[in-house]
Amino acid sequence: MDLTVFIRRLEDPAFKTTPQTDYRELTALILLLDIAVDDARSTKLDLSDKAVEKEFDENIEEFGAAIKDIMRQIGNPGAAFISRIEAKEVLELVSQRVSDTLRSKPKAKHTLFDGARGKPQEDLESERRGMQSFITRVNEIAGNRVNTKDSTN
């Protein structure tokens, strides 16, 4: 299965939103596309090859981005446009499914606690000195409190 076919299909005029767009039809098209994509794999796809795996994941990201572009075209529909809201919900659902379940491996998550990725060593030394200075000051303040309590008794 070649995901580029599906990505090109999303560029078709049927997926462009205009004031005359039938959003129920757009919703149906997106659902059919979701069914057709399935798990985006074919028997010819060898994900044990790192280059193939990387290209596959890049295609998945591009496909998800194309779906999100359609969703952005709809904008922020008001409550009076239920069909637009439903279309956006389906687009969001398919976009999440594509990005969360079709990749060969889960996307790497970066958090504040992951450590210093790519930080130069001198930055780490600066952080260590700053932390040591902080701890020294806290200990001095705590020591002064203990001494003042002892002298008042």
> Do 26 and 59 reside in the same domain of the chain?
yes
pLDDT score recorded for residue 27? 94
Q: What is the mean pLDDT of the chain?
A: 81
pTM equals 0.63
CB 74 within 8 A of CB 85: no
> Do 56 and 89 reside in the same domain of the chain?
yes
Q: How many domains does the chain have?
A: 2
Domain of residue 142, residue span: 118-152
Q: Which CA distances in Å does 129 have to 113, 126, 142?
A: 19, 5, 20
> Do 36 and 64 reside in the same domain of the chain?
yes
CB 1 within 8 A of CB 45: yes
Residue 107 within a domain = no
Q: What is the mean pLDDT of residues 117-139?
A: 76
Residue 111 within a domain = no
